[in-house]
A and B are shown apart, each in its own frame.
Chain A
Amino acid sequence: MSAGIWVLVEHSDGEIRKVTLEALGLGRTLAAQQGGEVVAVVLAQDTGQYMGKLSAFGADRVLACQDPSLKIYSCDSYAHTLARLARDRKPKAILFGATAQGKDLAGRLSAKLEAPLLADVTHLAFQDGKFVARRPMNAGKVVAMVESIGDSPVIASIRPKAFPMPTPIDGRTAAIDNVAFDAPEAGLGTVVKEILKAAGGALDVTEADVVVAGGRGLKGPEHFRLLEELADALHGAVGTSRPAVDAGWRDHSTQVGQTGKVVSPKLYIAVGISGAIQHLVGITGAKTVIAINKDPEAPIFKRADYGIVGDLFEVVPAITAAIKKA
């Protein structure tokens, strides 16, 4: 029996993504609301390595699908296998991280199963026989309460860092169901040839606890080094405002805002960013914002918790040096 709440395990290089663990925690809450097990579904070349962590973080059962072809994520293989398992075992819900992989897969699976997709949710509950979610729209300019209609499994992608990280319990053990892998009959339409890692294995802005972001005030790409040093000292990631990306200073993958990423770090340090509405909507989830800007009238100060009016080329290196000394 493996109805209940499923969590698709996202992993790379033997590491489980944090958002998967957050989804397991959410799974436990949902299972308490509507009964059933929390089931982790893992597709990998070697599934065994993940069992301990999945058990400790809340899985009652693991559906383990192991195959050499699953060395690298494939939307075709994953969607095909998940659809088959879901048709057989009828879960109440299937949770994904709202990550590049989760979004890729959830949209396809939703059509395959004709199942509701609650996309990029920041709250999810089971109430009166329905799943009810909260999800930001227009990049967070408004927040929608949405509900699923119908009986098919509900698919939800959850925003990284929107749900609490569960406390692992040592010694918890999950039941393991090994499930067969069968490739899609039509063959694979897409094949991942290679994964090019971002320089320095950079932490993604959506997953970092601290984001240090720079804008036009940096005056040129070479000065982002100052932000990298501050981010390093705080174990954080470097983000960028749209004008700095449009100027070609930084890669779009680091852009925060309406046409970039929406971030929810504990601390967001905005450096030389004026604070256009398209940027501010990307940081509504940030717990604390520190703004450093030479213009005391910059709109970013209206959103910030702490403000420093000053020359970023003096202030930022001085803070970095002070942290390193501390």
Chain B
Amino acid sequence: MNIFVCIKQVPETSQSVKIDPEGTAISLDGLEFVINPFDEYAIEEALRIKERFHEGKVTLVTMGPERCQKALRSGLAMGADDAVQLSDPLFDGSDPLTTARILAAFLKTQEFGLVLAGKQAVDDDSSMVPQALAEYLGVPHVCTVKKLELADDKKSATAHREIDGGTEVVTCRLPAVFSAEKGLNEPRYESLKGKMAAKKKQIRSVSAAELGLDPAKVGPRAATVKVCKLSYPEVKQGGVRMIEGDLAGQVAETTKILREGLKVI
């Protein structure tokens, strides 16, 4: 069974981000990029499933410009077999729904048993590509998966999915799309041997024309959502008021603030 993992390259999360002069995108100058943290769980899960069944290939797929090859190389160094970059100037400026359509166009040309992805990209934060991708592929999906068990016959899977206030236990027929929640597993590090092997691997590049995609159906022309303006969040004014004194004094003042200022008691 072949497993495809959809990944995205995102800014490393400990950095603050700057808005570019046009005000509609993040400035990429000096940013360090990594694999979207949730996608690492998806890659790890794919590798574990392959190891369990001793068959099939794990292929990474990303849509994006040249710089995204670094993310693909990292995933290859973790142990993925192949990497595909859906790369075309026509794809630039695609919104999440269009991204799902492009990923689906590629996956439809492949034989897949499973598609895995992170539950959301930590830059765009839309949490919608895996679900939309599943719809375009005509297969079921399960989101925010923190435990995944395939049946021995690989025709179905049982997933534990995180919901607000608990866990849903879901059975799902395969093929299907699963989006990974943190806690699904502990992603392995890139090994030295893996890094060496990753350097030698070819990354396959696929264009819009090769996927038979109509240029009007990709990129900003196809967008249903447009980012008009980015701004920084309002910064809290006034600074912090330190509650000084001995323990009894601190507690008395805090209780007063909770009761009179915030009215929570």
A interface, over-half SS: mixed
Judging by beta carbons under 8 Å apart, are A108 and B131 in contact? Answer: yes
Judging by beta carbons under 8 Å apart, are B262 and A266 in contact? Answer: yes
Judging by beta carbons under 8 Å apart, are B127 and A103 in contact? Answer: yes
Given contacts A147-B226, A189-B173, contact A322 B252 (CB under 8 A): yes
Within 8 A of B (CB), among A105-126: 105-108, 110-112, 114-120
Judging by beta carbons under 8 Å apart, are A189 and B265 in contact? Answer: no
- Bound CA span A5–B81, Å: 48
Judging by beta carbons under 8 Å apart, are A139 and B164 in contact? Answer: no
Within 8 A of A (CB), among B136-191: 136, 139-144, 146, 158, 160-173, 176, 181-183
Within 8 A of B (CB), among A251-305: 251-253, 255, 258-260, 266-267, 276-278, 284, 288, 290-291, 301-305
Which residue of B is nearest A118, CB measured? B225
B257 within 8 A of A: yes
* Neighbour of B228 across the interface among A147, A202, A318, A319, CB < 8 A: A147
Tell me how far the C-beta of A95 lies from the nearest C-beta in chain B, rounded to whole angstroms.
15
- Bound CA span A195–B160, Å: 9
Judging by beta carbons under 8 Å apart, are B168 and A195 in contact? Answer: yes
Number of interface residues of B (CB under 8 A): 85
B213 within 8 A of A: no
Which residue of B is nearest A191, CB measured? B171
* Neighbour of B230 across the interface among A116, A142, A291, CB < 8 A: A142
- Bound CA span A58–B224, Å: 29
Given contacts A115-B224, A194-B169, A308-B254, contact A75 B240 (CB under 8 A): no
Judging by beta carbons under 8 Å apart, are A110 and B97 in contact? Answer: yes
A141 within 8 A of B: yes
Judging by beta carbons under 8 Å apart, are B136 and A111 in contact? Answer: yes
A149 within 8 A of B: yes
Judging by beta carbons under 8 Å apart, are B232 and A326 in contact? Answer: no
Judging by beta carbons under 8 Å apart, are A117 and B247 in contact? Answer: no
Judging by beta carbons under 8 Å apart, are B167 and A267 in contact? Answer: no
Tell me how far the C-beta of B211 lies from the nearest C-beta in chain A, rounded to whole angstroms.
17
Judging by beta carbons under 8 Å apart, are A252 and B162 in contact? Answer: yes
Encode A121-158 as 1/0 by CB contact (under 8 A) with B.
Answer: 00000000000100111111111111111101000000
Residues of A within 8 A of B146 (CB): 252
A190 within 8 A of B: yes
Residues of A within 8 A of B258 (CB): 234, 267, 323
Residues of B within 8 A of A284 (CB): 233
- Bound CA span A156–B184, Å: 28
- Bound CA span A116–B95, Å: 10
* Neighbour of B143 across the interface among A103, A111, A142, A152, CB < 8 A: A103
- Bound CA span A111–B142, Å: 15
Which residue of B is nearest A278, CB measured? B13
- Bound CA span A120–B225, Å: 13
Given contacts A189-B173, A194-B169, contact A204 B164 (CB under 8 A): yes
Judging by beta carbons under 8 Å apart, are A290 and B254 in contact? Answer: yes
Given contacts A192-B170, A304-B240, contact A137 B140 (CB under 8 A): no
- Bound CA span A203–B240, Å: 28
Residues of A within 8 A of B129 (CB): 107
- Bound CA span A105–B143, Å: 10
Given contacts A100-B163, A267-B262, contact A190 B19 (CB under 8 A): no
Which residue of B is nearest A290, CB measured? B254
Which residue of B is nearest A116, CB measured? B224
Judging by beta carbons under 8 Å apart, are A326 and B264 in contact? Answer: no
- Bound CA span A218–B126, Å: 33
Judging by beta carbons under 8 Å apart, are B241 and A307 in contact? Answer: yes
Judging by beta carbons under 8 Å apart, are A322 and B255 in contact? Answer: yes
Given contacts A136-B125, A210-B264, A234-B264, contact A310 B254 (CB under 8 A): no
Residues of B within 8 A of A266 (CB): 262, 264
Which residue of B is nearest A301, CB measured? B240
Residues of A within 8 A of B170 (CB): 190-193
Which residue of B is nearest A308, CB measured? B243
Residues of A within 8 A of B125 (CB): 119-120, 135-139
* Neighbour of B128 across the interface among A119, A197, A209, A288, CB < 8 A: A119
Judging by beta carbons under 8 Å apart, are A142 and B17 in contact? Answer: yes
The 10 closest A-B pairs by CB, nearest first: A189-B140, A107-B131, A107-B128, A116-B224, A111-B135, A111-B132, A100-B163, A194-B169, A108-B131, A196-B167
B positions within 8 Å CB-CB of A: 11, 13-17, 19, 26, 37-38, 96-97, 100-101, 122-136, 139-144, 146, 158, 160-173, 176, 181-183, 223-233, 236, 238, 240-243, 247-248, 250-252, 254-255, 257-259, 262, 264-265
23 chain-A/chain-B pairs, Cβ below 8 angstroms: A75-B141, A105-B131, A110-B128, A110-B224, A111-B100, A117-B224, A136-B233, A138-B123, A139-B122, A142-B230, A144-B228, A144-B230, A148-B225, A192-B170, A207-B164, A234-B265, A259-B37, A260-B182, A277-B16, A288-B262, A305-B241, A314-B247, A323-B265
